[in-house]
C-alpha cells in the first residue's frame, strides 16, 4: 500500500509537469519495446550485447567485411520485430501527443511501433527497417525485397547491380541521418520538458539530450528500469515497468485536464 501511494504521488507530480509544459518531448529507447517482446541491448542477463560483440556484428566496418555475420545475427530478430505489436506504453505516448501534451517522439528504436501506436511526429535517430540501401549503387528499395533472402539465410543483394544491400538502420561507426538529427535537436532546444522512456542514456547524441534540456531550465522525467546518469537532476524518476507507469501518467495528465 505504501509503495502504491508513493508511486501515485510521483505519477501525479509528473502529470502536473506535463500539463505545465509548453513544448514537451519524449525520448525513447529499447526499454519501451521490451514488453512487446523485442529484447533490449544492455539489460543484465537478457541484453543482446551480453551474447554478441556489437563491433563484430553491428558495426559498419564489420558489415562491409562480413555482411553474412550481420544477417546471421539479425535474422532471428527480423520476424520478431515485424510481428511485434505496440504495447500500452507506446499507446500512452500517442495519446499524449494527440492531446497536445507531447510535441514529438525522438526514438533510438528501429521497430516502428510508435507510428503503429498512432504517434505522428516520430524522429528515428537510429534509422528503421522499412527500406534498404545498396552499398554499391545506392539504390533505395522497400525492405520487403530483401526479407525473403534474409529468411532463407542468404545475404540480400541488389537486383540492379548485384551489390550487397543494407537495412536503413544505423550501425556503429555510421553517421546518423543528419536531417532527422537536426530536426530532433530543434525540438530539444525548444523543449521545456523531456520524458525519457526506456533508454539507458549511454549512446550519443540521445544520451546528452536530457542534460541539454536541464541546462536550459527544462524539466526531466525518467521512466527506466535501470538507473541513468540523468536521475541525478531529473524532477521525477520511475524505475518501474514502462507499461505500468506510462498509461497511468497519460491518464493522470489528460484526465485531470478534462
Q: Do 78 and 86 touch, CB atoms closer than 8 A?
A: no
Q: Which is catalytic among the residues 126, 128, 187, 239? A: 126
- Alpha-carbon span 182 to 178, nearest angstrom: 6
State the DSSP code for 161.
T
Alpha carbons 90 and 113: distance in angstroms, whole number = 7
Is 114 a residue of the active site? no
Rounded to whole angstroms, the Cα distance separating 109 from 178 reads: 17
Q: Which of 180, 87, 88 is nearest to 128 (CA)?
A: 180
Q: For residue 128, count other CB atoms closer than 10 A to its CB.
A: 20
Name the residue among 25, 44, 43, 39 with its Cα closest to residue 104: 25
Residues 182-216 as b or e (16 or more Cβ within 10 Å = b): eebeebbeebbbbbbbbbbbeeeebbebbeebbee
> Residues with catalytic annotation?
126
Amino acid at each position: 500500500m505504501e509503495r502504491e501511494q508513493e508511486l501515485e504521488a510521483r505519477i501525479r507530480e509528473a502529470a502536473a509537469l506535463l500539463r505545465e509544459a509548453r513544448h514537451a518531448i519524449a525520448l525513447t529507447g529499447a526499454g519501451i519495446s521490451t514488453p512487446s517482446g523485442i529484447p533490449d541491448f544492455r539489460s543484465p542477463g537478457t541484453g543482446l550485447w551480453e551474447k554478441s560483440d556489437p563491433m563484430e556484428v553491428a558495426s559498419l566496418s564489420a558489415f562491409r567485411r562480413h555482411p553474412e555475420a550481420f544477417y546471421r545475427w539479425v535474422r532471428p530478430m527480423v520476424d520478431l520485430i515485424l510481428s511485434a505489436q505496440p504495447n500500452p506504453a507506446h499507446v500512452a505516448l500517442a495519446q499524449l501527443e494527440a492531446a497536445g501534451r507531447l510535441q514529438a517522439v525522438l526514438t533510438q528504436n528501429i521497430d516502428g511501433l510508435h507510428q503503429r501506436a498512432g504517434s505522428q511526429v516520430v524522429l528515428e535517430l537510429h534509422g528503421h527497417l522499412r527500406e534498404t540501401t545498396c552499398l554499391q549503387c545506392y539504390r533505395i528499395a522497400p525492405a520487403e525485397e530483401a526479407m525473403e533472402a534474409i529468411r532463407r539465410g542468404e545475404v540480400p543483394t541488389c537486383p540492379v547491380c548485384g551489390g550487397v544491400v543494407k537495412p536503413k538502420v544505423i550501425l556503429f561507426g555510421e553517421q546518423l541521418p543528419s536531417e532527422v538529427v537536426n530536426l530532433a535537436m530543434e525540438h530539444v532546444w525548444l523543449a521545456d520538458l523531456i520524458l525519457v522512456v526506456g533508454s539507458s542514456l549511454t549512446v550519443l547524441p540521445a544520451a546528452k539530450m536530457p542534460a541539454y534540456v536541464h541546462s536550459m531550465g527544462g524539466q526531466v522525467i525518467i521512466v527506466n528500469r535501470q538507473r541513468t546518469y540523468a536521475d541525478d537532476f531529473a524532477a521525477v524518476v520511475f524505475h518501474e515497468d514502462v507499461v505500468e507507469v506510462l498509461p497511468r501518467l497519460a491518464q493522470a495528465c489528460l484526465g485531470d485536464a478534462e
